Structure 1
Amino acid sequence: MSQLFGRALLLCCLTFLTFSFPTNGAETSTPNIVFIFIDDMGYGDLSCFRDLGADGWDSSTIDYYPETTHIDQLAAEGVRLTNFYVASPICSPSRVACTTGQFPSRHLINSYLNNRKRNRARGMADYLRSDIPTIAKAFQSNGYATAHFGKWHQGGGRDVDDAPLPTEYGFDESLVSFEGLGDRILPPGGLSDQSEKLNRGTVTRVEKHEQTPIYIDRSIEFIKRNKENPFYLHLWLNDVHDAHNPAPGTAEEFASVTSNPNEQNFFAVLVEMDEQIGRLINAIDSEGLDDNTLVLLTSDNGPTAWARYYKTEHLPAGSTAGFRGRKWSLYEGGIRMPMIARWPGKIAPNSINKQLIFSTVDFFPTLTSLVGIELSSVLAANGVDSSADEYFDGEDLGQQLLTGKGQRTRPLFWEYGRDPSYLRPGLVEDQSPNLAVRDGRWKLLINADGSDVQLYDLKASDTEVDDVSEDHPRITQRLRRQLLKWREDLPSLPEE
């Protein structure tokens, strides 16, 4: 009896070890990370999320929307998170959160990085400092090959010529566009013209629709070159950020399904981006790296919302799947994004997690924990004398991600803009206060001066139509105090 028990126990242990430490083609147990971050893609732009939108949202009412076949397949092989948040409704701070694991306002970046004069007027830094702990440094210092291909927008461009290069944040190699320095590919436009004059890297001029295939080619080449060792890869795409400039002739394919030229162009770039992402995933799988590679895919904020769209008969392209707000809004449509995670053998396929509240600030502590990187050593190497729990605003939610069970313990905070010039959606009803907090089922919004308090019970309804602040005065006051105190403690630029 004891021998049988011992053999059974040994078999269980071996099975657990095989499951817990999948190997890639190089027979290594150190997993790879591929992080796909798509600019301005709305919650409802992926067909695999179209039926997971806001309460009462009915996707069948849409006349037409193309299928994102390859991304849908990625979702079928992994988990979809329906309560995933980015740290800002605009590009620069959203990206800073991924890089630092902290709320971006801690780094004086609360809106998009502009020229020096505009940054100063809005109380913002010109770029993210590079002498801080970053997620790429953490992986790089632990033996990972690291690369960033795609949009950067954490410093460099316009008249800011002294921003650190992506390599100074822990990337072995990089290829960006006009919102960054170092090697870059620049599409037509004034910002590209300004970028080219800054030098600091090899500059290649290309059409916008040519950028993503180039980034994909570089990503595939990077993966093949480093398949014998662990790698950490950023692929941060810019296709669905307007202006939408598809390859010649491709928008016309959608003229029969929509008369809106904004949608025709958008559908063309969305479908092409999906095809290109499919190329990348196929490369990972064909190299035998799928079982040992965690692939993450999400967006940096909601879809475009320029006021000019609402002054014509043709509305802006991009879908929030019924959530209120779009880009530049702290309502759900601006910050609640589709999120897919695939890791065969670790994450159950074709699963949907509607419970876990997950944020981009959680990536740093979560991903490093999943691969066994000790954060205390990362902080110490960067001169930070505090514990990981004290330093990071994000949490290690690795087990919650893998098992689909459990919840975060900390609230999430947002600040978007500090002066009246920050960009706001064209529709008045989508224009939110500039501060927000989500704590469990409750979400409170308020302006920094204490005006326009709004409380929503997202468990009861996530449409953000019914303000319940008067019905729950204690909760309103608690979150109000907490949020305004958080805002008060944020740093400010020193006086000149």
Structure 2
Amino acid sequence: MKKLLFLILCIGFSFHHAYAQKKKPNVILVFIDDMGWADLSCFGNTDAETPNIDRFASEGICFDQFYVNSPICSPSRVAIATGTYPQRWNITSYLARRELNKERGIANWLDPAAPMLARKLKDDGYTTGHFGKWHMGGQRDVTEAPYISEYGYDQSLTNFEGMGPKLLPLTKDENGEVGRIWQDAEILGEGYHWVQRSEITTGFIDSAITFMDKALEADKPFYVDIWPDDVHSPYWPPFEEYGVAKEAGKRGLYLAVLEAMDKQFGKLFEYIESNKELKDNTLVIFCSDNGPEQGAGRAGELKGYKTHLYEGGIRSSLIVWAPGFMNKKAVGTRNRASLFSAIDLSPSILDFTGTKTDNGLVDGEDMLPTLLGQKKRVATSADFL
């Protein structure tokens, strides 16, 4: 009888283990556009409140010494999407119209052969989606760039700087006058919809939630980018707030947009936390692509802004949330010691998901134990030799 009971227990354990192995974790990468290191109230902003993001941070870990790999948009996005230095792909500044790209000696778009994190995860059985700004090809008059789907994504919805379906920004001032931004972006792929700029992040989040719902129904793990551009100029907060914010100047408009973005993210966080399957099996990484525009966002006491190679241009506030995987003692803490960068996220996520790769090109290091609060990696002099 004891032998039979032991056998049943062994079979049960094996089944449970096999099931657990099949339930790969989900990953959401939130990449904010032009947000300063000290713009979130959980990172010291006393001029605006970001309660939804702050609450999310209180359930995860905040990192004070996280750096992106460029102080400007396009190369920073290449780095986080590939785990490699953007110089490898001849993208060292923001991508613009072809003549300006030629003058600066940079590519018109990211080579589709680049080692995309999304493609590696897709090859491992993940369903992959990109929702938000792209800016790695397909902008201004560069209309023949590869579609986002050619980089390993099953679905995409972008803005005026990417190829494929997109949400294009409408504006409304204090007098109710409606305008358009980047209306020429209609030439960059079919399926565009005009939406008030202050509501576009909601559009990206709604589409991402629908995408995640379908993945859950299909019992497939997902990898999702949510890359909004709210806090990139021009700043257009909700119509009801525009007049008052405008009176406070550029900084006032920025803070109003920042708070509106936080409200929109509340819907995403509520969606994840209200679903136990998601909450226990999802990693969310939240950071910015570079420092703030001067006169708008702030980087605390750090010197420099967007486009500057000073700390203020490249240090980003980083929040990591994964309650089902984190060291419980680290939840709600602040890591001030560990120093790492955006190219480290790709190999860390591949480790987290158990994704086997061909060990191809990668410049970043696996920082997963640090991200999950299992240990702190402190920079030494060897890191700078």
- With the shorter chain as reference, the TM-score category is 0.7 to 0.9
CA distance in structure 1 between the partners assigned to 2:334 and 2:118 by the alignment: 28
Aligned length: 362
CA distance in structure 2 between the partners assigned to 1:322 and 1:22 by the alignment: 49
Please list the CA deviations of residues 142-187 of structure 1 after superposition, one character each: whole Å capped at 9, or x if unmatched.
Answer: 1111100000000002111111111000110000011111001111
- Deviation of 1:263 after TM superposition, in Å, equals 2.4
Aligned to 1:261: 249
Aligned to 2:271: 283
Please list the CA deviations of residues 224-263 of structure 1 after superposition, one character each: whole Å capped at 9, or x if unmatched.
Answer: 11123200000001000011101112245668xxx63222
CA distance in structure 2 between the partners assigned to 1:325 and 1:339 by the alignment: 18
Shift in alpha-carbon separation, 1:79–1:154, aligned structure 2, 3 A? same
SS at match of 1:48: helix
- Deviation of 1:321 after TM superposition, in Å, equals 1.1
CA contact (8 A) 2:61 2:373 kept: no
For CA contacts below 8 A with separation 6 or more, give which structure has more relative contact order: 2
Map 1:116-195 to 2 at 5 A.
116-188=98-170, 192-195=182-185
Extract unaligned runs of 5+ from structure 2: 1-5, 171-178
Runs of 4+ in 1 over 6 A off after TM superposition: 20-23
Map 1:94-113 to 2 at 5 A.
94-113=76-95
- Deviation of 1:266 after TM superposition, in Å, equals 1.4
Map 1:326-337 to 2 at 5 A.
326-337=305-316
CA contact (8 A) 1:184 1:204 kept: yes
- Deviation of 1:398 after TM superposition, in Å, equals 1.0
SS at match of 2:349: helix
SS at match of 1:204: strand
Instruction: For 2:370, give the aligned amino acid.
Output: Q
Aligned to 1:454: none
Which shifted more, 295-304 or 279-288?
Answer: 279-288
Which of these residues, 266, 272, 275, is aligned with residue 260 of structure 2?
A: 272
CA contact (8 A) 1:22 1:292 kept: no
Map 1:54-133 to 2 at 5 A.
64-133=46-115
Instruction: For 1:296, give the aligned amino acid.
Output: I
Which of these residues, 212, 221, 229, is aligned with residue 230 of structure 1?
A: 221
Aligned to 1:401: 371
CA distance in structure 2 between the partners assigned to 1:223 and 1:331 by the alignment: 38
Map 1:288-303 to 2 at 5 A.
288=276, 289-303=278-292
CA distance in structure 1 between the partners assigned to 2:19 and 2:47 by the alignment: 37
CA distance in structure 2 between the partners assigned to 1:121 and 1:321 by the alignment: 35
Which of these residues, 197, 202, 212, is aligned with residue 213 of structure 1?
A: 202
Extract unaligned runs of 5+ from structure 1: 1-6, 51-58, 306-315, 377-386, 412-437, 443-478, 480-496
Shift in alpha-carbon separation, 1:21–1:242, aligned structure 2, 3 A? farther
Aligned to 2:3: none
Q: When you count helix as a share of all residues, which structure comes out higher?
A: 2
- Deviation of 1:197 after TM superposition, in Å, equals 2.7
- Deviation of 1:408 after TM superposition, in Å, equals 7.6
Question: Are positions 1:48 and 2:42 aligned together?
Answer: yes
CA contact (8 A) 2:36 2:288 kept: yes
Question: Are positions 1:304 and 2:293 aligned together?
Answer: yes
Aligned to 1:196: 186
TM-score under structure 2 length normalisation: 0.87
Please list the CA deviations of residues 251-278 of structure 1 after superposition, one character each: whole Å capped at 9, or x if unmatched.
Answer: 45668xxx63222211221111111111
Aligned to 2:32: 38
Question: Are positions 1:361 and 2:340 aligned together?
Answer: no
Which structure's CA Rg is the greater one?
1
Percent identity of paired positions between Structure 1 and Structure 2: 41
CA distance in structure 1 between the partners assigned to 2:252 and 2:90 by the alignment: 38
CA distance in structure 1 between the partners assigned to 2:181 and 2:147 by the alignment: 18
